[in-house]
Structure 1
């Protein structure tokens, strides 16, 4: 399987997450958060929709994705394809009339990465609920001003990878990415290894470190002050969302200051 095949499949699955799941859910409930589900991913609220392999599952049946446009799939399922309007400015940039192209091996690789990521996050932080964000298409949590998650790949790393993204830049051998630390899922091997990677990141971010500006902070129990996300960091892949300050919240939760229901605060 080539990088191009993986990239193409990832783009169209990302489009399905945005246009066939998050969009309909946002129009009905005001929420955009998705979840990892058996064999794929699905909505976290009504309507009950799921992408399993190369099919859209609803309460009325299974609808093939491959070789059909998002508009055609949505019409067959009794839905309206479309992004969550006015919620964020990023996303996959996929049109509803584009014909979906999915490679079976690539689908299996990407779905396995999400499944291992979700399992690892739940093992690492049992009190947190992993969220699959439709904008960046990563499954993640935020703890004590550090983002932990698994991406199916992007401009920075072409294949699925796990990441630890502290809001304040770190220095040291562990921190090998502009947004913190990244390890490919192939390198880590399984969900247990991903959870260990997260634990290592948490241990290191809890220690006193010398930050890029020369000031010492201690990141433990959410006690860091004056955090400025991404200041002075190179960002060749536009990944400073990994460094945004403030825990990710959903509309209606205490402390949510987003102007649109369901807005992911990482996007401002």
Structure 2
């Protein structure tokens, strides 16, 4: 994580200087991400890497693929086992709890996307029946969800308002907490500026050190939609710069000590409507 931290710290410094100059920040520390070998002509997006397993969305079902370190390659993707994928759309996988808990969003024709939680059934080698998370779901579109390892902090993005809170823009990031995973989630609170803006904050991901990654179209931009990182909720997000960002639309982001993943639309070397790009960080020095 220290190597990742140093890379991203340099990004933040360059982003701050770039903002003063009115130009996009260039990351410089990462090589250009490579196109993931299992992209399709359809939609491949919303990557979430946990350990050596990539969870992602293919044509609005949730799939997984496992990294073979010896072969330096990813296994053929398969739909996640169990009653997760349905005739409706499933999006935004988030793994936590030692990889035994899956959070995601599912479409409902009345309430739009809502959040669900499923636990791994070791005997069945499959995910259990998902449970609607009522405290975090509304009658308006929810979208992205990130939950920490002990399931006491959740960030979500939504068009909705929770409680007495109000959105700053079209879609904001909200935060909910609880004392332990058996308790109910608190009423989400809008994390406000400088992370939320008058526009759209579509995605949210937090790393092990509390840095928050988002996507959107902000003042400092390489393309139409870029990826940004903030040190915490109170700091201005810095543009991750090229070659992570491009003149196309970069969207969701996931990072560990070993892997960096993002999805993008309209990149010249893409193969579908949305594609996944990645870096193996222990091999990209």
The one of the two structures with greater contact order (alpha-carbon pairs below 8 A, sep at least 6) is 2
Q: TM-score, normalised by structure 1?
A: 0.30
Structure with more helix by fraction: 1
Structure with more strand by fraction: 2
